[in-house]
Amino acid sequence: MGDLKAQTPTEVLDVLGRVCPYPLVLTKKQLEKMASGSLLKVLCDAPASAEDSIPRYAEKQGFPIEVEKVGDHWDIFIQKK
């Protein structure tokens, strides 16, 4: 890991303004539609989703993930395996 942020995402999912559990639900739905090897960038401002539920889901699935705090939101990069 350590280089997902440097790559151009295949898709960008904006869940700004959404509260749990919607960011995780929408992230799961988006990843299901994407091809293996694709990179999803999620824009999220819900701390519980960005710091807990989305990373935990990605790790459970074996998807590489990077979470970066940018101002008042997080950029979450998930690579589908």
* Confidence tier at 81 by pLDDT (50, 70, 90): very high
Assess whether pLDDT exceeds 70 at residue 1.
Answer: no
Q: Is the pTM of this model over 0.85?
A: yes
Give residue-wise pLDDT tens across range 13-63. 999 999 989 999 999 999 999 999 999 999 999 999 999 999 999 999 999
CATH of domain 4-79: 3.30.110.40
Between CA 36 and CA 17 the distance in angstroms is: 28
Assess whether pLDDT exceeds 60 at residue 2.
Answer: no
Between CA 36 and CA 47 the distance in angstroms is: 27
Between CA 35 and CA 71 the distance in angstroms is: 30
DSSP one-letter code for 80: -
Q: What is the DSSP string of 49-69?
A: IIIIIHHHHHHHHT--EEEEE
